[in-house]
Amino acid sequence: MKKFDVIIIGAGPSGMVVGTTIKMQNPEKSVLMIKEEDKGLVPCGIPYVFNRLATVDKNVMGTKPFSDISGTVIVDPAVDADLAKKTVTCKSGDTYAFDKLIFATGSTPIIPTFIPGYDLDGVQYIRKSYSYIKQLKDKTDEAKNIVIVGGGFIGAEVAEEIASNADKTVSLIESQPYCFNRAFSGELSRIATDKLRETRVNVHTSTLVKEVSGENGKVTGVKLDNGKHIKADIVIMSIGYKPNTDVARKAGLELNAEGAIVVDNFERTSVKDVCAIGDCSQTKGFITGRTDNIMLASTATAEARVLGYNLFGVIIKRCFVGTLGVFSTEINGLSMAAAGVNENNGREGNIKFISSEFSDFNTHPAGFSDTSKLTVKLYASPSDGSILGGEVWGGKSVGEIINIIGLAIQKRVTIFELVSYQIGTHPLLTSPPTKYVLIKAAEGLINKLKAIA
């Protein structure tokens, strides 16, 4: 039986980053990565294969960066792990021995078995699988009427992309008053939902799918709780993901209530030499301290780096101190992002906060052809002014501004520090130094604090 210093099960973003980090830090160690499918996908790029990328093959993610530094890759799904004997057995029957084992098995879509008709032919999911998405793309290309159930960022991004094709009627059904409500505050969820409504997507909010209807075993539409029936050739269920932990469960690892593998701050399970990262592992809120199972590629790869550097002895003392959850998306040309606390999750987590927002243009002066309005909403602690969260919307720079806010939250920067930090500005690239939007939002918070002091 072949033995490896490390076996990684899974070759998604977390598997790839942990594999390359381990090999770069420890070139002498033998590392095996076990995959289910030959070709992998960039998971976050999946919505764009339905329009902007045009083909699934423009969205593949390979294992070359890992193989290039002499990592070993096999395509043969792992079916069993014997943690006492320290072996992993694959579907083919081949067994490999390990010194250290890493679960990076990701997540799979939630199947709504509670909706009658969920098992009809034509009910589809956004699976992170090359072969599945390839056949889904063919099916959506053929279909005329498509219903998407779930208005989170994945359902909304997929809906907008498919609806860019004028031949198709796309309807999106969301049970809450606004889409994106799990990631954004009420204010930003409403702005995002309004932006989505301006596209060709028919958005139905505050509406539940009661049943998927069909004939001869095939989908014909969905019945809604308001009595309406929407015709559909395909129904795409996008109601969330669950940790993919079947092999871990069989192996006897401890799972939390949501089925995620329980890990400590260095991503170690309670079994020596067995670790878990990414969507299959438990996350705890950076500010709430509660288990929250955030599933993001950015979080998964941060965990992978923490584990990759520290697997053979802690060399980066900063362990994984909690999940912030930094979301970003773009709908109908409006970029939107959120990090940490907002009005929804803050109230739910019983976190005291004050908030303030400021808008200006993202160039100075504002008259350039690509100028757009930029808004920053900051959330801070009323006790010490430390930044707890932020939301940003406007042009493309939003995707990076939220990362600055994410860093500020993690470094516990206060609004007093933020207003005195030195920044760089340029007419074509940023809002003006006199009204730098992030700093003006922090000033708004200082004024609020003064008012309640």
> Site residues (CB under 6 A) for ligand FAD?
9-15, 34-36, 40, 43-44, 46-47, 77-78, 104-107, 126, 128, 154, 244, 247, 278-279, 295-298, 300
> What is residue 58's three-state secondary structure?
helix
Distance CA 269, CA 29 (A): 21
Minimal distance in Å, beta carbon 431 to ligand FAD?
25
* Whether 121 contacts 32, CB under 8 Å: no
CB nearer ligand FAD, residue 255 or residue 439: 255
Minimal distance in Å, beta carbon 158 to ligand FAD?
7
CB nearer ligand FAD, residue 40 or residue 221: 40
Minimal distance in Å, beta carbon 300 to ligand FAD?
4
Distance CA 215, CA 55 (A): 31
Give the position of tokens 């009204």.
435
What CA–CA distances, in Å, run from 401 to 9, 255, 395, 409? 34, 35, 11, 13
CB nearer ligand FAD, residue 149 or residue 296: 296
CB nearer ligand FAD, residue 192 or residue 439: 192
Minimal distance in Å, beta carbon 25 to ligand FAD?
19
Which residues, including other chains, have CB under 8 Å from residue 231's CB and lie 6 or more apart?
Answer: 145, 169, 220, 221
Minimal distance in Å, beta carbon 386 to ligand FAD?
25
What CA–CA distances, in Å, run from 245 to 44, 81, 113, 257? 21, 12, 19, 12
Distance CA 237, CA 155 (A): 8
Bridge partners, 433 (sequence order): none
CB nearer ligand FAD, residue 14 or residue 282: 14
User: 3-class secondary structure for 300-355?
Assistant: HHHHHHHHHHHCCCCCCCCCCCCECCEEEEEECCEEEEEEECCHHHHHHCCCCCEE
CB nearer ligand FAD, residue 9 or residue 255: 9
Tokens of 79: 């079916």
Tokens of 401: 């501004």
CB nearer ligand FAD, residue 295 or residue 415: 295
Minimal distance in Å, beta carbon 123 to ligand FAD?
17
Bridge partners, 391 (sequence order): 338, 377
CB nearer ligand FAD, residue 189 or residue 281: 281
Minimal distance in Å, beta carbon 6 to ligand FAD?
15
Bridge partners, 280 (sequence order): none
Minimal distance in Å, beta carbon 449 to ligand FAD?
32
Burial class (CB in 10 A: 0-12, 13-18, 19+), 142: exposed
Distance CA 312, CA 100 (A): 9
Distance CA 71, CA 91 (A): 21
Minimal distance in Å, beta carbon 126 to ligand FAD?
5
CB count within 10 Å of CB 373 equals: 15
CB nearer ligand FAD, residue 326 or residue 445: 326
Give the position of tokens 């009595």.
227
